[in-house]
Structure 1
């Protein structure tokens, strides 16, 4: 039996974070680009935070994580109506686990 150590799993999670470039979202149907707000690793769980501040207002849809190759690697297709008085966080959460095959 071959097993990844906790360090090995954490390194894979960190490599995932390091592969990210930015996020995109649609604002009233137009694609916009934004920096990733923050990321974290807790044990084997990765969280990527995208934050739209009070300068963004309107219908928000199709938030995506884009990697350094320019590929969309994750998306949230939920539609939000965002007022200018409030910010909007979207969190992408992934758990890294080893699966024997």
Structure 2
């Protein structure tokens, strides 16, 4: 028996409620940042972080933090961010029964 539409929606909403905020490592120091946007479409949930033009330096990691402040997901990176524009970071998940 397949998961129902209701069950699928509840799983996506659970994940949405589990992730509380973002975090990035800039020049070796961790900074928390609010979620910029969360998008739920079909089987896909996307979490976005946005760093404005005031954030400058070398970014080596992006993270999503859960409601307990623990790292839910992280992405190592190496970006030399200049102060001339913002940066949009996306964490993308697909929830489906296989």
* Category of TM-score, reference length = shorter chain: over 0.9
* Ranges in structure 1 where 5+ consecutive residues have no aligned partner: none
Offset from partner CA, 1:45-96 (integer Å, 9 cap, x none): 0000000001100111211000001110111111111110110111000000
1:14 corresponds to: 13
Structure with greater strand percent? 2
1:23 corresponds to: 22
Please list every run of at least 4 consecutive aligned residues from structure 1 whose deviation after the TM superposition is greater than 2 angstroms: none
| TM-score, length basis structure 2 | 0.94
Quick one: distance in 1 between partners of 2:6 and 2:61? 33
Quick one: distance in 1 between partners of 2:42 and 2:60? 30
2:80 corresponds to: 81
1:11-90 equivalences under 5 Å are: 11-90=10-89
| TM-score, length basis structure 1 | 0.91
Quick one: distance in 1 between partners of 2:9 and 2:60? 31
Offset from partner CA, 1:27-60 (integer Å, 9 cap, x none): 1111111101010111010000000001100111
SS at match of 1:11: helix
